[in-house]
Chain A
């Protein structure tokens, strides 16, 4: 079985600031990590490998520095990795990103047919949750989003059964391979890197694929050109106009509680009547 896991390197913290003059993102000094939701995808792939035997290839599209994320993936136990990197990919929205990733997965499939593609639920920087469905559509894979558990995998029959979250409950779905799964967070916890894998992570060559190597002929489908959406404005949320009215300074707990209910009742009489805080 060949599993391809798509991961993205993202800035660690939400402490991203905007440059006050150029209005661009300042990422300096912000450490990069593997998108936390993608760790669930890596772990699930490794568990399938433990159970059924598999080759796990981890794929990322990003700048050359994203190599660090792939080395980390090797340390967790990934067999192979590919870094899809080319200036031509820059500025991609979800449609162009899913096109490039799908193309690379197709290429990987030429070496060994891909049975399962796994992604995280969403990224913490883009957080669109759209790249997974996009890849599935382009490769005509069965799409299984928000999966909390893979309950059965019948390789000889090429069938997979999963539990996936829907709005009001859990669906148990059975479908065929090849499929694409987006893993729900907290469905598992990433394992510790083993010593041998950590050593391997340092030594292993990380193949870098550019556009040609990924077999992408049509440059109009990637990067900024291949992106139907354009960012027309980027700005910081407007600060709140009001600061809280402070209540009950110098009072004891009971005093504070009564003071806040008093001011609530007088400022918002309708609401207070509605909940029965004051007599109608």
Chain B
């Protein structure tokens, strides 16, 4: 959306609205299962967890959409999707879909939507998901709400209430797609929790064909260079994160964070000024324009707790904040606060942690 629409008048929707029969024909909640080179992105499971809740409220089925290069891969992903709550899976397996390309993926997805008409379609707000969602929504001429942090159903009209941050996280807005179907939304990885997988749950697989051959596709993937150390995935899904901000002073002081991270088996992240200054690589930025994380423990050293940082890490289970300013905003939402110099606290914390861990490991 644009800022202009932010001031749009509130639609009056208190009475139960009768849906246009054309729209009412759209039923069911769909989740796009994002697979790259046989690997399912965990955001797909997070979306299935959320999709399950929406489908239960609507009393409809939850379907997983799986596109991939090979039947075995697609079936394996479908089995997993059933474990995470899907009742059925639509799969399109074709060598043309082995690597992500906009044209065949858009075609496969829009064909499926036109044929089976879901009311809600959710995708991960990943590079792949955003590329695909924008193209599919434009092809279908329907509404798309990007980067949602909360999804719910409007009891008055069965519509999707999609809430997302705007203006860099300083505001939230709830967006609805009233007169178009499907209602599309993307959700960032780690915003929703991964549901518990239930083993032995099954569902129906509906196999569809891609209405396209390699010759129809203009873009060719010449090469795929996988990331060396899978850094991106690791940070978003780390159990413990040690993060530093501008208060760390300079690049060299990040050794203190890396030291503590080693003892804890943690990942290192940082605020935007830190990645901008090159103290950490860009993919380790946490926050609104970086990664969303939800570790069990987040240690923030020299980070003020600006809203753009906060939206990326506030779902962490436990937050320990170290800041020499007792009025730093981070103390408004951290679990534990330490007022002091991070450069002194961090080495002490590393030592204390190391000795306790080794004692308990010897004892245990």
Q: Do A and B bind each other?
A: yes
Complex alpha-carbon distance, A161 and B221, angstroms: 10
- B226 lies within 8 A of A168 (CB): yes
The interface residues of chain B lying within 8 Å CB-to-CB of A93 are 1-2, 5, 143
- B174 lies within 8 A of A231 (CB): yes
Min distance, Cβ A228 to any Cβ of chain B, angstroms: 3
Min distance, Cβ A167 to any Cβ of chain B, angstroms: 5
Complex alpha-carbon distance, A196 and B126, angstroms: 42
Min distance, Cβ A253 to any Cβ of chain B, angstroms: 4
Additional pairs, 13, CB under 8 Å, beyond known A131-B134, A137-B134, A237-B311: A14-B306, A14-B307, A93-B5, A94-B2, A95-B144, A127-B146, A142-B103, A172-B225, A229-B176, A232-B13, A232-B175, A261-B352, A280-B364
**The 10 A-B residue pairs with the shortest CB-CB distance in the complex, in nearest-first order:** A133-B134, A228-B143, A244-B337, A14-B168, A240-B333, A253-B348, A128-B146, A229-B143, A175-B219, A244-B334
Q: Does B335 touch A at the CB level, under 8 Å?
A: yes
- A133 lies within 8 A of B353 (CB): no
- B223 lies within 8 A of A172 (CB): yes
Q: Does B100 touch A at the CB level, under 8 Å?
A: yes
The total of interchain contacts (Cβ-Cβ below 8 angstroms) comes to: 324
Pick the residue among B126, B137, B232, B320 that contacts A130 (CB under 8 A): B137
- B134 lies within 8 A of A229 (CB): no
Complex alpha-carbon distance, A243 and B289, angstroms: 25
Q: Does B161 touch A at the CB level, under 8 Å?
A: yes
Beta-carbon nearest neighbor of B189 in chain A: A167
- B360 lies within 8 A of A277 (CB): yes
Q: Does A199 touch B at the CB level, under 8 Å?
A: no
- A167 lies within 8 A of B36 (CB): yes
- Stretch of B55-63, B191-199, B200-208, B339-347 that contacts chain A: B339-347
Beta-carbon nearest neighbor of B314 in chain A: A240
Scan residues 154-190 of chain A and give those whose CB is less than 8 A from a CB of chain B.
Answer: 161, 165-176, 186
Q: Is the interface of A mostly helix, strand, loop or mixed?
A: mixed
Complex alpha-carbon distance, A129 and B8, angstroms: 21
Complex alpha-carbon distance, A98 and B137, angstroms: 11
Scan residues 348-364 of chain B and give those whose CB is less than 8 A from a CB of chain A.
Answer: 348-349, 351-353, 356-357, 359-361, 363-364
The interface residues of chain B lying within 8 Å CB-to-CB of A90 are 4
Given contacts A94-B1, A124-B168, contact A176 B177 (CB under 8 A): no
Q: Does A126 touch B at the CB level, under 8 Å?
A: yes
Pick the residue among B161, B221, B335, B348 that contacts A245 (CB under 8 A): B335
Pick the residue among A97, A130, A242, A275 that contacts B130 (CB under 8 A): A130
- A24 lies within 8 A of B13 (CB): no
- B167 lies within 8 A of A166 (CB): no
> Can you identify 20 A-B contacts, CB atoms within 8 angstroms?
A14-B307, A16-B168, A24-B7, A91-B4, A124-B289, A125-B168, A133-B133, A137-B135, A143-B102, A166-B128, A168-B226, A169-B226, A174-B222, A231-B174, A234-B166, A234-B173, A253-B345, A253-B348, A275-B240, A277-B360
Q: Does B215 touch A at the CB level, under 8 Å?
A: no
Q: Does B324 touch A at the CB level, under 8 Å?
A: no
Min distance, Cβ A271 to any Cβ of chain B, angstroms: 6
The interface residues of chain A lying within 8 Å CB-to-CB of B233 are 167-168
The interface residues of chain A lying within 8 Å CB-to-CB of B351 are 254, 257
Complex alpha-carbon distance, A239 and B329, angstroms: 11
- A276 lies within 8 A of B360 (CB): yes
Scan residues 225-279 of chain A and give those whose CB is less than 8 A from a CB of chain B.
Answer: 227-237, 239-240, 242-249, 252-254, 256-258, 260-261, 263-264, 268, 271, 274-279
Taking each of B1, B39, B307, which has the highest tally of chain A beta carbons within 10 Å of its own beta carbon?
A: B1
The interface residues of chain A lying within 8 Å CB-to-CB of B255 are none
Q: Does B317 touch A at the CB level, under 8 Å?
A: yes
Min distance, Cβ A273 to any Cβ of chain B, angstroms: 9
Pick the residue among B126, B170, B221, B336 that contacts A171 (CB under 8 A): B221
Given contacts A132-B134, A271-B318, contact A11 B337 (CB under 8 A): no
The interface residues of chain A lying within 8 Å CB-to-CB of B128 are 166-167
Complex alpha-carbon distance, A26 and B131, angstroms: 32
The interface residues of chain A lying within 8 Å CB-to-CB of B131 are 133, 143, 145-146
- B168 lies within 8 A of A239 (CB): no
Q: Does A25 touch B at the CB level, under 8 Å?
A: yes
- A146 lies within 8 A of B127 (CB): yes
- B143 lies within 8 A of A95 (CB): yes
Complex alpha-carbon distance, A142 and B6, angstroms: 31
Number of interface residues of B (CB under 8 A): 113
- A279 lies within 8 A of B363 (CB): yes
Complex alpha-carbon distance, A261 and B345, angstroms: 12
- A126 lies within 8 A of B2 (CB): yes
Min distance, Cβ B103 to any Cβ of chain A, angstroms: 8
Given contacts A146-B127, A168-B37, contact A232 B4 (CB under 8 A): no
The interface residues of chain B lying within 8 Å CB-to-CB of A127 are 146-147, 166, 168, 289
Q: Does A28 touch B at the CB level, under 8 Å?
A: no
Q: Does A136 touch B at the CB level, under 8 Å?
A: yes
Q: Does B169 touch A at the CB level, under 8 Å?
A: yes
Q: Does A48 touch B at the CB level, under 8 Å?
A: no
Q: Does A68 touch B at the CB level, under 8 Å?
A: no
Q: Does A150 touch B at the CB level, under 8 Å?
A: no
The contact string, 1 if C-beta is below 8 Å from chain B, for chain A 108-142, is 00000000000000001111111111101110001
The interface residues of chain A lying within 8 Å CB-to-CB of B357 are 275-277
- B331 lies within 8 A of A279 (CB): no
Beta-carbon nearest neighbor of A161 in chain B: B222
Scan residues 84-98 of chain A and give those whose CB is less than 8 A from a CB of chain B.
Answer: 90-95, 97-98
The interface residues of chain A lying within 8 Å CB-to-CB of B7 are 24-25
Given contacts A167-B41, A167-B232, A248-B338, contact A137 B333 (CB under 8 A): no
- B169 lies within 8 A of A278 (CB): no
Beta-carbon nearest neighbor of B330 in chain A: A244
